[in-house]
Structure 1
Amino acid sequence: MTNVDIRWQQRLSNYARALQQLSSTVNLAQARPLSELEKQGLIQAFEFTHELAWKVDLSLKHTINNQDLLEHIERVGITFYSHTPDH
């Protein structure tokens, strides 16, 4: 297994944990009103989860072997994929 394989798997694992935490917080918000601090935490959890999803997606782009899909990404996703993840 290469370092790239391990890295995207770590990102996917981090994303899964963040998504579970976000889901738990949303469930809590549906059960009762959140305090202001809890609302801020929910917003941060959403932002963090969104960022991790983007990093997983970006990591996987480099493993795509389908030329048609890569050409499609270059046509419609060039702005999105021109960025690089922080980590």
Structure 2
Amino acid sequence: MSGTWTEHFVQSLSHWGTCTKESAANKKPKKLRNISCLRIRYTIAAFGAEGANSADLRWRQRLENLQRALGQLKAALEAHNACINDEVIGMAVVKAYEFSFELSWKTLKDLLSYEGIDAQLPREVLRQAFSYGLLKNGQLWIDMLEQRNLMAHTYDQARANQALMLIRETFAPELLQLAAELEKRP
């Protein structure tokens, strides 16, 4: 069969909806609806393993990307420590943080999806990850999200310096800890 398991599931689901509407309108026996239910069960059984593997693969690939981004963040922080007054390196640290944070919440989103939990927006993903024990300090992650949003509109050097301090002392260690914890997952 061609297509992904989700495409087949959606096709079966839409077919099931059509059959139930037709059977209700024509007062056909329930048997037609039961056949459609079996079709959905078959679709899940036939393609569920592929879907589970692709969801597992997706969050693991995202984790690899996160680890590479965190490597860049560490390198930017080291360069900034060597040249503390260099604004260009400071901007590189901020951008590396923004990129790493973005990959962090998206990795969590993919992992939650793999676990069967639907969360789409960053704040929602962070709350769900905290409630399921993937994050230890939920409020810190909300603060990181808010700071990331503020950094995109920071033009004041004093605020930029404050952001750099937060990244160096608080946010980067938290991102690294998350990556280490996710790496341990089976």
Task: Provide the residue aligned with 1:11 in structure 2.
Answer: 62
Aligned to 2:73: 22
Q: 97, 100, 114: which one pairs with 1:63?
A: 114
| Secondary structure of residue in 2 paired with 1:62 | helix
Aligned length: 70
Q: TM-score, normalised by structure 1?
A: 0.67
- Structure 2 unmatched ranges of 5 or more: 1-49, 126-186
Give the structure, 1 or 2, with the largest relative contact order (CA under 8 Å, sep 6 or more): 1
Between Structure 1 and Structure 2, whose CA radius of gyration is higher? 2
Residue 5 of structure 1 deviates from its aligned partner by: 1.7
- Partner residue in 1 for 2:91: 40
Which residue does 1:80 correspond to in 2? 124
SS in structure 2 opposite 1:18? helix
For residues 34 and 56 of structure 1, the distance between their equivalents in structure 2, rounded to whole angstroms, comes to 33
Whichever residue aligns with residue 105 of structure 2, its letter is W
1:54 lines up with 2:105 in the alignment: yes
Superposed CA deviations along residues 7-35 of structure 1, whole A, max 9, x for unmatched, are: 11110000000001101111221222252
Q: Could you tell me which residue of structure 2 aligns to residue 84 of structure 1?
A: none
Contact 2:69 2:96 in 1 (8 A): yes
Q: Which amino acid aligns with 2:124?
A: F
- Can you give the 5+ residue segments of structure 1 that lack an aligned partner in the other structure? 82-87
Residues 21-64 of structure 1 show CA distances to partners (whole Å, capped at 9, x for unaligned) of 10111122122225222211111110000000000111111233
Q: Is the 8 A contact 2:55 2:114 kept in 1?
A: no
Q: In the alignment, is the contact (CA less than 8 A) between 2:76 and 2:93 conserved in 1?
A: yes
